[in-house]
């Protein structure tokens, strides 16, 4: 599934440019070291973290996009870094459990 289609289904708000990549799956974690060790290229990362280390880890792994949960808004330096790395940042008011459920129902695993 492509990012634009998923964003429409789940009502995700992009806070930077939409780089409409194909998703290979989803990875949910708030630990940067866990993302580096276990996420896979093309995954959608679901997290509560909104700092530059998340973008650095996502770029290292080649994450397709990041969903920031619970209504948290990434600061401007994080948004700029994500744009430079061509990683779309989405926000949602949902918590990680709620978005995981919606992702599963949408066929993203």
Q: Which tokens sit at 82?
A: 């994500």
Rounded mean pLDDT of 15-21?
96
Q: How far apart are CA 36 and CA 70, in angstroms?
A: 23
Per-residue pLDDT of 91-109, as tens digits, reads 999 999 999 999 999 999 8
Question: What is the structure's pLDDT at 25?
Answer: 96
Per-residue pLDDT of 29-86, as tens digits, reads 999 999 999 999 999 999 999 999 999 999 999 999 999 999 999 999 999 999 999 9
Q: Mention the CATH class of domain 3-105.
A: alpha beta
Domain map (residue ranges) of the chain: 3-105
Question: What is the structure's pLDDT at 68?
Answer: 98
Question: What is the structure's pLDDT at 109?
Answer: 84
Give 91's strand partners. 13, 68
């Amino acid at each position: 599934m492509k990012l634009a289609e998923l964003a429409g289904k789940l009502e995700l708000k992009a806070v930077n440019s939409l780089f409409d990549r194909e998703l290979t799956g989803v990875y949910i974690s708030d630990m940067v070291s866990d993302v580096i060790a276990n996420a896979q290229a093309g995954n959608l990362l679901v997290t509560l973290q909104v700092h530059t280390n998340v973008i650095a880890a996502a770029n290292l792994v080649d994450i397709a996009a990041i969903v920031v949960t619970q209504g948290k808004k990434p600061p401007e330096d994080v948004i700029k870094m994500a744009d430079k790395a061509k990683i779309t940042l989405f926000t949602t008011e949902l918590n990680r459990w709620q978005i995981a459920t919606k992702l599963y129902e949408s066929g993203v695993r």
